[in-house]
Structure 1
C-alpha cells in the first residue's frame, strides 16, 4: 500500500457481499506501490439493495473505478451508462471504469481465466472440450472466454435446469453448435450418469464456478461423478479460499491435475488495473502479493 494517503490519493476498490475473504487489496496495492502511484484499493461490503447507491458514489467521488464480485456481477449492468462487448456477451460485469462521469462496465474475468490457462497451466483452449459447473456471472465469463479462444465444445451444468438452458441458448447465438446442457449430476439418475460419462470421456477440462466449498462452508461441494476422472483431466475450481476445496481434494484423489482460482484472480485483476490506470500492470509484483497473502491468511480451515 502507498506509504502516504493524502488529499491526492485516488481510491479504487471492490464491491461485494461478503468481502472478508478477498485478496484483491493486497494484489492491487502492491501494484500501485510498484508503479509509484498514489492510489489505494479498499474492499467494501455492499449489500444488494445498496449497489445502486454505491455505484453512484463512484461517479460522485470521482473514483477511477471499482471491481464487482458476488452477488453484483449480473445486477450491476442496470446502473451503468455503457457496457463493452464482452460484458454484453456474458451479461456480467466485474470491472467498472469511470470515464469522466460515465460508468463503463467491463468483464475481465473471461480473458483473465483464459490467460491463466494458457500462461500458467499450458492449456490452450483451442480445439479442446470442457465441462462447466454453474450458471452465474463467473460461469458466463468463463464460458465466453473459452469459446472465444476456440474451445471446440462446452457442456454446461447448473442446479437450475432452466438457467442452464437459458445460458446455453445465449451462448449458442454467438457460438452455434458448440454448447450443450448436462443435467445437474444425480448418482441415482442412470440417464444423467450416462450423459456425464460420455462428456467426461471427451472433455479435458472441468471448471467449477459455483461458490460451493468457499470458506467458511468448506464441506460443501456440487455433486459430481469423481470416479470418472483420470490423470488426463485438468480440474479448476475458481474458489481460492480455501486453497484446495473439497471438490479439488476429491478430484486429486482420482489422479486429476487440480488448480484453484488464484491465477484467474491475478490476471483479471491485472486487466482491470490496466483499464483504470492506462499502464501495463506489474504482474510479477501482483503475483508475489497474492501468493504471500494466500499463504499467510487464515482461511478457517478445519482439516
Structure 2
C-alpha cells in the first residue's frame, strides 16, 4: 500500500517540498506520495486526527503551525522540545513524534561551507523562529560564542536564556553589531529583510566585515540577496538559504525512510523551480 506523506501550512500552494520529496520517492523506488495540505489554524486538530485515522507515515509542518502542533503530538525529540517548534513529524509505530530539522539542516550546510565553524564567533541577525532553531542547533553542535542582533532585545534574551546548551552570548542593537562586525567569523541573517519583492533591503551594514568571513542568509528567493552581494564585494564568503531548505528536507526524508538522499539532486529540483542557478 502506498505510503502517505505531506506538508501542512496556511498558505501552502507555494511549497516546493512536494516536488523535492516526490522526485526522491521515484528516484529511490519507494511506494509513497507527498501531498500539500492547506490546513487552517482552526482545522489543525482535526487534520492531525485525520492523519492518524488513515495512518499517514509522516509529514512536514510549516507556517503557522510549527508551535501549535506540539500539544497534538505523542512525543517530541529533545531538540524540538527545547526549540519549541516542529517541522517534521514521523509515525513511529502509531505514535506521532515531532522533530525540528530546520536548525540541524542549517548546521549541516554550514559544516560543508565552513568546516571549522565550531571555533568561530558567530553573529545571528534576528530573533524569530528560524533564529531560535539555528541558535539552539549551533549551541548543541558546540559553538561557544553566539551573539544575537535584534531590534527587540527581549526576544533575543528569551532565546539565550531558554537554550539548554551552553554558549556565551551578547545581545546587540544594529549599531553595536555594525561597529563590532570584525569580531565575527560567521554572520547568519535570519530575518525576511531582502526577500522578494523588496530585494534592495538589507538588515545592517557590512562595512567592517573581515575579508574571509562567511555571511549566510537563510533567504533563497532571491538566491543572492543584497546582503550577500555586499558581503562578496568586501571579500567575504557567502551562503544563501538554499542549503538550509534542502538539508532540512533531506533530514526529514532520512527520518521517514532511513535514507539520506542525494542533496545535489534536491538542490537541482529547487533551482529549476526558481528558474535560476547559483554562482
Question: Structure 1 length as normaliser, TM-score?
Answer: 0.82
Aligned counterpart in structure 1 of residue 155 of structure 2, from 159, 163, 172: 163
Provide closer, same or farther for how the CA distance between residues 280 and 201 of structure 1 changes in structure 2, counting only shifts above 3 A.
Answer: closer
Q: Distance in 2 between matches of 1:35 and 1:143?
A: 33
Aligned counterpart in structure 2 of residue 234 of structure 1, from 192, 195, 214: 214
Q: Distance in 2 between matches of 1:51 and 1:216?
A: 30
Shift of 1:217: 4.4
Provide closer, same or farther for how the CA distance between residues 79 and 136 of structure 1 changes in structure 2, counting only shifts above 3 A.
Answer: farther
Gaps of 5+ in 1: 1-7, 186-192, 298-303
Shift of 1:143: 0.9
SS at structure 1 position matched to 2:275: helix
Q: Distance in 1 between matches of 2:224 and 2:65?
A: 25
Shift of 1:40: 1.6
Provide closer, same or farther for how the CA distance between residues 215 and 55 of structure 1 changes in structure 2, counting only shifts above 3 A.
Answer: farther
Q: Distance in 2 between matches of 1:167 and 1:13?
A: 30
Q: Distance in 2 between matches of 1:19 and 1:211?
A: 18
Aligned counterpart in structure 1 of residue 138 of structure 2, from 115, 133, 146: 146
Provide closer, same or farther for how the CA distance between residues 162 and 66 of structure 1 changes in structure 2, counting only shifts above 3 A.
Answer: same
Q: Which residue of 2 aligns with 1:211?
A: 192
Provide closer, same or farther for how the CA distance between residues 174 and 151 of structure 1 changes in structure 2, counting only shifts above 3 A.
Answer: closer
Q: Distance in 2 between matches of 1:164 and 1:290?
A: 32
Provide closer, same or farther for how the CA distance between residues 71 and 256 of structure 1 changes in structure 2, counting only shifts above 3 A.
Answer: farther
Q: Distance in 2 between matches of 1:42 and 1:220?
A: 34
Q: Which residue of 1 aligns with 2:67?
A: 74
1:174 and 2:165 aligned: yes
Q: Which residue of 1 aligns with 2:31?
A: 38
8 Å CA contact retained: 2:219, 2:240: yes
8 Å CA contact retained: 1:125, 1:146: no
1:130 and 2:122 aligned: yes
8 Å CA contact retained: 2:150, 2:156: yes
**Higher RCO structure, 1 or 2 (CA under 8 Å, sep 6+):** 1
Q: Which residue of 1 aligns with 2:241?
A: 261
Q: How many residues align?
A: 277
Question: CA offsets, 1:13-71, max 9 Å, x none?
Answer: 22223334432222211211111012122223333333333333321221111112223
